[in-house]
Each structure stands twice: as C-alpha cells, then as structure tokens.
Amino acid sequence: MAIEPTSSSASIPHRILDVLPVVMRVVAAQMRGTRHALSSGHMPVLAALRYTTYTQSELADMMSVSNATMSNTLTALEERGWIERQRSTEDRRQVYIHLTPQGQRALVESTEDMEEHIAELTAGLDAEARQKLLDGLDVLETVFMSALMNITSSEREVEMHTRKQG
C-alpha cells in the first residue's frame, strides 16, 4: 500500500521515522556486501578517523554508543588491521585511535562500493526526481546538522559545567 505524499508539516516526522529505518536497513545490507564486508558500525568509525585521531570515549560519544560497544567495534577493526591504538606520551592513561593505511584503503574502497550500489538504486530516477531527491537531502542535512550542533554544544556545556563543579 503506497502512502500518499502530503505537504502537511505534521507528516514530516512520521515520514522521516518511516523512511530512515528502511534506508539504513538497505545501506547496512549493502555494506556487508562490499569488498570488506563492513558492519554498519564500522564505516562511521573509519570515516571519523580519516583525518584525525580520537580516544575510545570520544568515538563512543560521537557514535552515541556505550564505551563497551565502541571497545568491541575497535577490537574488530584492530583485528582487521584497520586501526591502531596508541598510548599518549603526555598522559599514559589516554589511548588514541588512528586509521592505518589498510583502514584508509578499506574506507575508500567500501565508500566506492556503497556509492556504486546507491547509484544503481537511483539510476531509474528521471532528472526531476533526482533533483527533488537532492533538494530533500540538502534540507534534511541542514535540519539534522543544526540539531547535531545543538546537541554537541549542549554536551560541551554540560562537560564544562561538570569540570567546574569537580
């Protein structure tokens, strides 16, 4: 049964909550079919490490998962040779995670594979539908990036307040 499109703003949250799980399910299935058989939790971590290093707790916060879950993810990535853990020379309690050349290659190749899969999925769209999709994705990105900035800003405020109290 097809859902009739509507311009009612009340339907936007409902549509987002209907569509995003379907998109994520398809993307997760396709990730497992890439050359490197990534899980849906691997690619965002590799992408985060592409340009800088993070601690395990920073990555857990970024991905909105527990430290235990992030530890399991990092162990799996480390076993594949895609990341390395390096203890800080200034503070031995800090361990930084960085991408290895193999991890960089796995990220690039998996991204290429995913882009190819998505291109195949959208190949049947005409020019007008493609433009509507791009416009909608731009709007979605703007709305959710703004929300993310508010969340991370609030988290920083709470952290700074906690440090002042401590």
pLDDT, tens digit, 9 for 90 and up, residues 116-131: 999 999 999 999 999 9
CA pseudo-torsion sign 41, 42, 47, 48: positive
Every domain of the chain and the residues it spans: 15-123, 126-166
**What is the band of 161 on the pLDDT scale with cuts at 50, 70, 90?**
very low
7 with 36: CB under 8 angstroms? Answer: no
Element (H, E) at 83: strand 83-87
Length of the chain: 166
Which class is domain 15-123? mainly alpha
As a whole number, mean pLDDT of residues 68-88 equals 95
pTM score over 0.85: no
